[in-house]
Copies of this chain bind each other. A is one copy, B any other.
């Protein structure tokens, strides 16, 4: 197994990074990040994700205006738009559960992106798109995505300009032992 306290350190030191140095993320680093994204668990292993990798400066500029909180995208080296592909979602989940698991599956993939960036000395931030219909349609138009593809979030990545310490968020009162 992947037993290593270095992995715990990576999880504990991950912090949203919104300012980037300008140094480029390498193709190798990006490939590692995408491999980690796709290694996430998913309901019945359906892997309902798609990734739009944005490096074009003009597109990064446009993408930075897609939400009120995505201004930093234009100064990132690369941005990954994590998307849910509804055609990849098995129908059993919708039939038996009244809804699918793509949000959960793709969120696990997004977290792997942030952690694998941190592990490589890079930083990123999870900028929410879904469930805002407005933001979803703005991003869809920008990339001419079909209707069955739903952008979940935008993750700009780059070398951190600052290295802020991650404060510990553990709260004992959020842990309930054997009962609520």
The answer to whether A116 and B11 touch (CB under 8 A), given A133-B98, A180-B146, is: yes
Number of interface residues of A (CB under 8 A): 84
Q: Which B residues are CB-close (under 8 A) to A171?
A: 38, 47
Q: Which partner residue on chain B sits nearest A133 by CB separation?
A: B98
Residue A103 lies at the interface, judged by CB distance under 8 Å to chain B: yes
CA distance A2 to B2 in the complex (A): 16
A178 pairs with B1, CB closer than 8 A = no
Query: Would you call the interface of chain A mostly helix, strand, loop, or mixed?
Result: mixed
Question: A123 to chain B: which residues have CB within 8 Å?
Answer: 1
Contact A176 B52, beta carbon cutoff 8 Å: yes
Residue of B nearest to A169 (CB): B38
- By a CB distance below 8 angstroms, the chain B residues around A112 are 11, 111
For residue A171, give the distance in angstroms from its CB to the closest CB of chain B. 6
- Contact (Cβ within 8 A) A97 B41: no
* A170 → chain B closest CB, angstroms: 5
* Extra inter-chain contacts (10) besides given A8-B120, A11-B119, A101-B128, CB under 8 Å: A1-B123, A6-B10, A7-B118, A11-B112, A35-B168, A40-B111, A43-B128, A52-B176, A52-B179, A144-B180
